[in-house]
Amino acid sequence: MRHYKLIKLNATKSTNDKVKMLIKSKKISPGDIVWADYQYKGRGQYKNTWNSSKGKNLLISVYREFKGLSFKQRNYINFVISLSVIKTIEQYISNDNFIKWPNDILSGQKKISGILIENNIKGKELRNSIIGIGINVNQTRFRNIPNATSIKLISNNEIEIEQVLKKLIKNIDEHINILIVKDFDQIMNLYNSKLYGRDFCRFLINNEIFQGKVINVNPSGSIIVEINGRGIKEYESNKIKILL
């Protein structure tokens, strides 16, 4: 197994922010992972917050370098990380797990994990990435968070968080290896096979709700959808939202 340093904290503002600080002070190397029991200002996509009860869930940020990957290819990091997370969830919950493009992992039509990847770019090259992952493990009550679930809520089992972490790290390494050998087709096929909404889903476009289905996601990270009565269209992630 690959060698890495695991930096375990009781509490921090956000594990992604902690990695940024450690990069500045040169106290972290590519491959290292920051793991916290609690975040007092956990961050989500689109400036949202990520709230998680103390000690109940997995909250990590993985610091990785992607040498040879161009800025344009950065979407593949999201694809391989989503695949790693869903594989980890599948090791506890056998069915009804999906990737809800662009960044959520669903189990039983509810959100079980969120991913926040922050890339450091220089020119056209990707320098490094901070890969923040939150997986709801043992939390069973989600106040003011609609559509959230956890491994415990679905499987009825209390799970050791460190065990989930170990499985996740192994799955991340395996999927990043597919990226290192540049098997982009395999990544796209795997990713598209896990997408939520391929039979039916609702979309929010310009504040209007539409029905249709997801066709696939392309390598540039846009989604191709079929909208009932409107045909097949392509959208970037800031133009369309998949509704639960």
Tell the burial category of 207 from Cβ atoms under 10 Å away from its Cβ (0-12, 13-18, 19+).
exposed
Contact between 9 and ligand BTN by CB under 6 A: the answer reads no
Contact between 43 and ligand BTN by CB under 6 A: the answer reads yes
- How far apart CA 89 and CA 157 sit, in angstroms, is 13
Contact between 59 and ligand BTN by CB under 6 A: the answer reads yes
| C-alpha pair distances (Å), 181 with each of 23, 65, 174 | 27, 15, 11
Q: Minimum Å distance from CB 142 to ligand BTN?
A: 13
Contact between 51 and ligand BTN by CB under 6 A: the answer reads no
For 120-178, the three-class secondary structure string (H helix, E strand, C coil) is: EEECCEEEEEEEEEEECCCCCCCCCCCCECCHHHHHCCCCCHHHHHHHHHHHHHHHHHH
Q: Minimum Å distance from CB 59 to ligand BTN?
A: 4
Among 7, 15, 171, 210, binds ligand BTN (CB under 6 A): 15
Contact between 102 and ligand BTN by CB under 6 A: the answer reads no
Contact between 83 and ligand BTN by CB under 6 A: the answer reads no
Q: Which is nearer to ligand BTN, 116 or 169 (CB)?
A: 116
Contact residues: ligand BTN, CB under 6 A: 14-16, 39, 42-45, 48, 50, 59-61, 103-104, 114-116, 132-134
